[in-house]
Amino acid sequence: MENIILDGKQTSKDLVEEIKAKFDKNPTTKKLAIISVGDDYGSAVYCNMKKKKSEYCGIGCEVFHFENDAKGEDIEELVKKLSIDDNFAGIMIQHPLPKHIDEQKCFNLIPPEKDVDGLSAASFGLIAQGRQLFAPATALGIMKLFEAYNISLVGETVLMIGKSQIVGLPLSVMLMKAGATVTVAHSRTKNLADMVKNFKIVIVAIGKSELVKADWFEEGQIIVDAGYNEGNIGDVDHNAYAKASYYTPVPGGVGPMTIASLLDQTSKAINILENK
Ligand code: NAP
């Protein structure tokens, strides 16, 4: 049996180089706006990485940072301003916002053509209607990995474990639209351990270190682990990899695909704005 790594590092590198080549040839003045709030360490690291990669590709990037005590209205006001500012092709709000801010309300103010992180209600609605414009970057990154490795989804059974607004829920709809037969499991699902072996593809995004055990799998399944927990640990027990036909390592699988997908969508948003 083949045991192939779904190499997100290499696949994302290829995608980033493609975007860079496009803007080397046709430079743009349009920018990406990243809004971040508070002092979450992870968020600061991610914002910095996104800014660096964006600038590497030739896309200017401005980070608008608010202190932890910022009001929801401050963020809403900025999103409204950026929405009609032609200098900015894309707007993204770094998740998570502090608890006192209604995060989804802020996401929903981003117009679909600038929603490069794909988290607004409108973007989700377009995906559900089969008119996807922009999708949540991690979900899109996983779809791009399937594509890069010619893994066909048509008619295949997929178990999506996790149904968050950021990953599991939109991804389950995207998989369905791509022709897969999708089952969604979550924290209330009964007998998860017995279910896993029945699916060709198992995707996990729950945020619980190695909760999905190696002995839940059978030989030859495709394992995609979006989990990223303290100590570089995924949501799937890494001993499961040896049984898989294809698998994403943690780190170096799904993670790198997220930023590359954000930049891919920003590049498309620039096209939209420049051709308005
Ligand atoms: P989240 O918002 O906390 O959602 C977790 C989901 O997992 C929920 O749907 C929850 O079910 C389900 N769940 C929790 N415990 C479960 C259990 N014991 N059995 C089955 N389902 C369970 O998390 P998220 O934002 O989707 O993130 C999930 C993971 O992906 C995290 O490790 C995160 O770090 C990672 N992630 C990585 C990237 C990246 O770029 N690499 C980006 C985003 C997220 P209920 O809905 O029933 O509560």
For ligand 1, mutation pick of 228, 237, 257, 262 (most atoms within 8 Å of CB): 228
CA-nearest residue, atom 12 of ligand 1: 162
Tokens for 178? 């791509």
Q: What is the pLDDT of residue 154?
A: 98
Residue positions counted in the chain = 276
What DSSP letter does each residue of 128-167 carry, written as one string? HTT--S---HHHHHHHHHHHHTT---TT-EEEEE---TTT
* Protein residues with CB under 6 Å of any ligand 1 atom: 138, 161-164, 166-168, 185-189, 192, 205-208, 211, 226-229, 235, 254-255, 258
Phi, psi of 100 (to 5 degrees): -75, -5
Q: What is the pLDDT of residue 265?
A: 98
Strand order in the sheet with 246-247: 4-5, 246-247, 222-225, 201-204, 157-161, 181-185
Q: What is the pLDDT of residue 203?
A: 99
Please state whether beta strands 201-204 and 222-225 pair in parallel, antiparallel, or not at all (unpaired). Answer: parallel
Amino acid at 18: E
Tokens for 219? 């030989």
Q: Give 212 Cα–ligand 1 centroid separation in angstroms.
A: 12
Q: What is the pLDDT of residue 149?
A: 98
Type and span of the H or E element at 5: strand 4-5
Q: Which of left, alpha, beta for 220 (phi over 0: left; psi -120 to 50: alpha)?
A: left
Q: Where are the alpha helices (DSSP H) in the chain?
A: 8-25, 41-56, 72-83, 103-108, 121-128, 137-148, 168-177, 192-195, 254-274
**Angle of the 8-25 helix axis to the 254-274 helix axis, nearest 10:** 20
Residue found under tokens 């040896």: 242
Specify the 3-state DSSP secondary structure of 178.
Answer: coil
49-103: per-residue pLDDT in tens? 999 999 999 999 999 999 999 999 999 999 999 999 999 999 999 999 999 999 9
Q: Exposure of 67 by Cβ count < 10 A (0-12 exposed, 13-18 middle, 19+ buried)?
A: exposed
Whole-number Å distance between alpha carbons of 162 and 59: 33
CA-nearest residue, atom 40 of ligand 1: 255
Specify the 3-state DSSP secondary structure of 90.
Answer: strand
Q: What is the pLDDT of residue 148?
A: 98
User: What does the DSSP 8-state code read for residue 236?
Assistant: B
Q: Give 161 Cα–ligand 1 centroid separation in angstroms.
A: 8
Q: Give 142 Cα–ligand 1 centroid separation in angstroms.
A: 15
Please state whether beta strands 246-247 and 157-161 pair in parallel, antiparallel, or not at all (unpaired). Answer: unpaired
Q: Which of 79, 107, 34 lies closest to 259, judged by CA?
A: 34
Q: Give 186 Cα–ligand 1 centroid separation in angstroms.
A: 9
Q: Give 164 Cα–ligand 1 centroid separation in angstroms.
A: 6
Partners of 229 in the β-ladder: 233
The atom of ligand 1 lying closest to the CA of 168 is: 26
Q: Give 171 Cα–ligand 1 centroid separation in angstroms.
A: 12
How far is residue 36 CA from its own chain's centroid?
A: 17
Residue segments in the chain with a per-residue pLDDT below the cut of 70: none
The atom of ligand 1 lying closest to the CA of 189 is: 20
Q: What is the pLDDT of residue 178?
A: 98
Q: What is the pLDDT of residue 197?
A: 98
Q: What is the pLDDT of residue 1?
A: 78
19-41: per-residue pLDDT in tens? 999 999 999 999 999 999 999 88
What is the value of pTM for the model shown?
0.97
The atom of ligand 1 lying closest to the CA of 206 is: 7
User: Helix %, strand %, coil % for the chain, to 5?
Assistant: 45, 15, 40
- Average pLDDT score, the chain: 97
Q: Give 72 Cα–ligand 1 centroid separation in angstroms.
A: 24
